[in-house]
Structure 1
Amino acid sequence: MTDRLLLLAPRINDTGLHLLTAARRRGLRAQTATRWRVPEGLAESGAAVHLYGGPLFADAVGRELGIAALADPQDWLAGLPRELTGRAVVLTTLAEARGLRRPAFVKPPNDKLFPARIYPDGTGLPGADALEDDFPVLVSDIVTFRREYRLFVLDGTVRTGSRYLLDGRLDLAPLEEDPLRREVLAFAAEVLAEGGLPSAIVVDVGLLADGTWAVVEANCAWASGGYACDPEAVLDTVLRAAGPESACAPADLPFRRPLPEIVR
């Protein structure tokens, strides 16, 4: 049997600690990297490596380790029907977004190369000296979410979920304990029926101030906090979301994050 290993980024968070425990409980080797590079000898060991960490860690070690790190398409949120997003969302370029002359919520689709937040206009976005003009960004109308939920999705089914925000404040609770659990799952089923996502992903949804449900965003499972989700179900999703490319299902191949070749 091929040796399997869960490799975590050096800056381990609470979710990472829960994943370490869950992995070792089921007999899966797990370790935290000490640097932002492949641990010595790991690439030559023949181990089937899975990854948990942010985009920078995936970019630093993923290609050398032969990992397929699944991500939502950059245009997924913008391509959803308005009745599921509750607002206008467009995928555009940073150059175009710099021309905004109105407040908008602006974020990178799959990275954290600048803060995702409300910008009074486009003048506060990174300049051409920081990011290329054609860098993709999502621009959304401003809405107010009263409640927000994180859902770890595997094979089109919500495996575990957590409330994480209540009226703008961090407020964690397992989805099973939330009074709106059935509504969350019913809305999630509508969203997932639209398709367009890899087999292992995180989808955040929320309740707007007007009482309607809307998608917040999708996120890479291998880079997402688990909040009050069940660690075992989070681990199942993470293992699928970032594992050996040789084991990647054909349907998931188009969702692989492009990983750079690191020259040392």
Structure 2
Amino acid sequence: MPRGLTGRRVEAMPLGRARALRGPRFVKPPADKTFPARVYGDGSELPGPDVADQDAVVLVSEVVRFRAEFRVFLLDGRVRAASRYAVDGDLAVTPWDGCAEEADAEAFAAEVAADPTSGLPSAVVVDIGHTDAGEWAVVEANAAWASGGYACDDDGVLEVVMRAGGPLAEVRASDRVFVRAAPEVVR
């Protein structure tokens, strides 16, 4: 996703390279919860090889402080459901229409949804936030079928989840790049 939407540089790199970074960074495993996603003072604080292999890919970003964070369910470039979920890093769930920032948050969410460079599928959850610098930025994008609804409208959430997790035969050509094989279950 372009820096104009994220408000910071975000890059994927091997954990071994991240371990060599100096200075604070937000580090997150993108596909699982191998270790906590959080701000690390520098790369030496990241988990060792007993937790994750040095070749494991992690997302690394500059540190941004979000004053308020919102979960937005997008479908075909439109907001279908949304709510606030955090204030100053603490859980503070409030329905969309109960937030002072509702109009600004909705405008930014619409901008993200309409941006052809965002690289988003047609059914997705995007967390957005209002930063200490007074700017709006994407916190992260999430798979709709794996995202909690917080105080979002249930019907809107279900509409987005059903599209995102629907039958393979109904996946749009533009969304096929996001299809992954299900992991093998070992019993």
Q: Does the TM-score normalized on the shorter chain lie above 0.5?
A: yes
Alignment: residue pair count? 185
Write the distance in 2 (CA, Å) between the matches of 1:110 and 1:185. 27
Say whether 1:240 aligns with 2:163.
yes
Say whether 1:100 aligns with 2:21.
yes
TM-score when normalising by structure 1 = 0.66
Say whether 1:250 aligns with 2:160.
no
Counterpart of 1:111 (choices 23, 27, 32) is 32
Counterpart of 1:159 (choices 80, 96, 113) is 80
Task: Between 123-132 and 230-239, report the one with greater CA deviation.
Answer: 123-132
Task: Point out 4+ residue stretches in structure 1 off by more than 4 angstroms.
Answer: none
Write the distance in 2 (CA, Å) between the matches of 1:156 and 1:133. 37
5 Å matches for 1:1-264? 79-81=1-3, 83-192=4-113, 193=115, 194-264=117-187
Write the distance in 1 (CA, Å) between the matches of 2:143 and 2:153. 17
Q: Percent identity?
A: 54
Write the distance in 1 (CA, Å) between the matches of 2:133 and 2:118. 26
RMSD value over aligned CA atoms?
A: 1.6
Residue 35 of structure 2 aligns to which amino acid in structure 1? F
Q: Is this contact kept in 2: 1:110–1:219, CA < 8 A?
A: no
Write the distance in 2 (CA, Å) between the matches of 1:233 and 1:130. 38
User: What are the superposed Cα offsets for residues 23-43 of structure 1, whole Å, 9 maximum, x if unpaired?
Assistant: xxxxxxxxxxxxxxxxxxxxx
**Residue 263 of structure 1: CA displacement?**
4.3
Write the distance in 2 (CA, Å) between the matches of 1:144 and 1:129. 30
**Residue 99 of structure 1: CA displacement?**
0.8
Residue 208 of structure 1 aligns to which amino acid in structure 2? T
Residue 104 of structure 1 aligns to which amino acid in structure 2? R
Q: Secondary structure at the match of 2:51?
A: coil
User: What are the superposed Cα offsets for residues 158-191 of structure 1, whole Å, 9 maximum, x if unpaired?
Assistant: 1010011112221111112212211111111222
Write the distance in 2 (CA, Å) between the matches of 1:178 and 1:241. 27
Q: What 5-or-longer segments of structure 1 have no aligned partner?
A: 1-78
Q: Secondary structure at the match of 2:22?
A: coil
Match of 1:45 in 2: none
Q: Which has the larger radius of gyration?
A: 1
User: What are the superposed Cα offsets for residues 98-147 of structure 1, whole Å, 9 maximum, x if unpaired?
Assistant: 11121111002232221100111112323334323222111111121111
Residue 140 of structure 1 aligns to which amino acid in structure 2? S
Q: What 5-or-longer segments of structure 2 have no aligned partner?
A: none
Q: Is this contact kept in 1: 2:18–2:43, CA < 8 A?
A: yes
